[in-house]
Amino acid sequence: MTAIELDGVTKRFSDVVALRNVDLTVRDGEIFGFLGPNGAGKSTTIDILLDFIRPTSGDVRVLGLDAQAESEAVRSRLGVLPDGYDVYERLTGRQHMEFAIESKAADDDAEALLDRVGILDAADRKAGGYSKGMTQRLMLAMALVGEPDMLILDEPSTGLDPNGAREMREIIREERDRGATIFFSSHILEQVEAVCDRVGILRDGELVAVDSIAGLRDAADQEMTLKVTVDEVTPAARDGVTDLPGVSNVITNGNTLSVTCDSDSKTEVLDALEFAGAEVRDFSTEQASLEELFAAYTTSEVSA
């Protein structure tokens, strides 16, 4: 069974196209990271999964059910941490939990779940007084009610400190190990790299890539930076490297050249230097950071 299946989904808001013909399959039991800059359409997609909004065209199935016609059945099997929500200020954390437990006809222990997310000591305080990080934890606890088949987490690390984000990832892994599918969105690739089996990248309402992080790296054919130290940087050596087709930038610093080039142009750079009479003393390569990789997909450089 597939956990999520979007088939040709388009969503138009009066004059804006938020999603354009999106096809997406999330497999049962995987941790799927849904990436894209703010405004790319991540929340729109999640809102469609939850039937908050309806697609202009296309089919959406969640846990094998029709996301619109069978939305209550879908949501009874989901745990959701929404984005841009507000808690019920006058209700305590415990009352929030009781509401979720009653709504899902579950028999969870509110205290055990609050303890699991680390806010048990705040259980009887009004949620209106919680910090953003605490409300995120409360929402996660509510999402865990009823051992859902799938967790949908929209920007879950919003407001969490690094320690909180780590705890969040631990819970995500535990839930996956229990057998749940995890679908979570983020605009920061680093956050998903540590936990995701696969990621999908959304750009301006279009799904530009779905792959593992390693697969994305290969597909992006990222440029790298090659640092070469030579005996002397002559104009001929510099020009020889700059003129290579795979090289986009050369910066000279003393006897060191920083060459930005395609990942398969390394040998050509070194050959060009030797051809110009320079003696290579040392060289190193730097792979593009995840941030650069993400930027490559979410700006127009790459499309897979």
Partner 1 sequence: MTLDAASVRAVAKKDFQDAVRSRLLWALSVLFILFAGGMAYLYTEIQNASGNELAALDLIFFLQSPVGLLIPLTGLLLGYKSVAGEIETGSVKILLSLPHSRGSVLLGKLFGRTGVLTVPILVGFAVAAVVVLALYPVFTAKYYLAFVAVTILFGLAYVSIAVAISAMTKSTSRAAVGIVSAFVAFNMLWEVIGYGIHYVVTLITEGDGVFFPGFANEAPTWFLFYQRLSPNGAFGGALTSALPRDSSFSEFFPSGDVPFYLADWFSLVILALWVIVPLYLGYLRFDAADL
Does 194 sit near partner 1 (CB under 8 A)?
no
Does 124 sit near partner 1 (CB under 8 A)?
no
Q: How far is the CB of 192 from partner 1 (least distance, A)?
A: 21
Q: How far is the CB of 131 from partner 1 (least distance, A)?
A: 17
Does 50 sit near partner 1 (CB under 8 A)?
yes
Nearer to partner 1, 147 or 193 (CB): 147
Long-range contacts of 126-133 (CB under 8 A, 24+ apart): 126/89, 126/90, 126/91, 126/92, 127/87, 127/88, 127/89, 127/91, 127/92, 127/93, 127/96, 128/87, 128/88, 128/89, 128/90, 130/87, 130/93, 131/159, 132/158, 132/159, 133/159, 133/160, 133/161, 133/164
Does 241 sit near partner 1 (CB under 8 A)?
no
Residues 6+ away with beta carbon under 8 Å from 91: 99, 126, 127
Does 198 sit near partner 1 (CB under 8 A)?
no
Does 300 sit near partner 1 (CB under 8 A)?
no
Instruction: Identify the residue among 19, 31, 78, 171 touching partner 1 (CB under 8 A).
Output: 78
Instruction: Identify the residue among 54, 166, 178, 281 touching partner 1 (CB under 8 A).
Output: 54
Burial 193-219 (b: 16+ CB within 10 A, else e): bebbebbbbbbbbbbbbbbebeebbee
Stretch that binds partner 1, among 25-33, 89-97, 159-167, 244-252 (CB under 8 A): 89-97
Does 90 sit near partner 1 (CB under 8 A)?
yes
Instruction: Identify the residue among 19, 22, 26, 87 touching partner 1 (CB under 8 A).
Output: 87
Instruction: Identify the residue among 57, 88, 161, 289 touching partner 1 (CB under 8 A).
Output: 88
Nearer to partner 1, 13 or 275 (CB): 13
Does 102 sit near partner 1 (CB under 8 A)?
yes
What are the DSSP E strand ranges found in the chain?
Answer: 2-13, 16-27, 31-35, 57-62, 65-66, 78-81, 150-154, 181-186, 198-203, 206-211, 223-230, 247-253, 256-262, 280-286
> By the criterion CB under 8 A, which residues form the site for partner 1?
13, 47, 50-54, 71-73, 75-76, 78, 80, 82, 84-88, 90-91, 95-96, 99-100, 102-105, 126, 139, 142-143
